[in-house]
Chains A and B, each alone.
Chain A
């Protein structure tokens, strides 16, 4: 079933990595979106580590989409890493797997920003 969402942040290269853990649903989408907006005031690049997300719904996806747009307007990007198959399937349902840059792990997402 999974626990309520929590998150942890750290710097890696040009980006801030935000590790999300737990259920990313409508009850937490707004605070996550607001936190990402706040992070984007400090850096144009965010990498969201979704490896410990146990569930995501359309509100969670919406928060990521809104953050991606916010990053793009600032000349940056929101890149995703470490998705489980379960989370990948939800992205594919609404065709977001072609909208985000998605990496198998955080290391390769960080590396992509050096290129």
Chain B
């Protein structure tokens, strides 16, 4: 029987090798929530993209500057990814150029495609990307 309310979190250093820590948390989320394979795959992808972006743009080294929080309340998943980088304005990021097909710049597009909503905020040097998805 899947859990309908729970929260999972992890913090780690902004090292790209630590992407696996996010993947482990997503695996735990999949088990606890009982989401179907396709939805689980989409969430895994969005979290991976958000974490990779946060790690690449973090300004700190050697501390736990990257945070991942996955909160399930009723049928809604809220994912927060925190970093202390220079931040960005999601609305200023252009969509990928599907004619020229550059080899990067697809992360935010993918997140928007697979999640129901995406928002971004910066407070006291902490940037938070918040993604929501209805689970059922």
* A→B interface (CB under 8 Å): 1-2, 4, 23, 25-27, 55, 57-59, 61-63, 65-66, 69, 86, 89-90, 93-96, 99
From B27, B48, B114, contact of A93 by CB (8 A): B114
Tell me whether chain B's interface is mostly helix, strand or loop, or mixed.
helix
Considering only residues 15-37 of chain B, those with a C-beta below 8 Å from chain A are 16-17, 19-20, 23-24, 26-27, 37
26 A–B contacts from the bound complex (CB under 8 Å): A1-B20, A1-B26, A1-B27, A23-B23, A25-B52, A26-B48, A27-B20, A55-B23, A55-B45, A57-B45, A57-B48, A57-B49, A58-B49, A58-B106, A59-B52, A59-B104, A62-B103, A62-B104, A69-B103, A90-B45, A93-B113, A94-B96, A94-B98, A95-B98, A96-B101, A99-B101
Whether B52 lies near A26 (C-beta < 8 A) is yes
* Chain B residues bordering chain A, tally (CB within 8 A): 30
Distance of A9 from chain B, by nearest CB (Å): 22
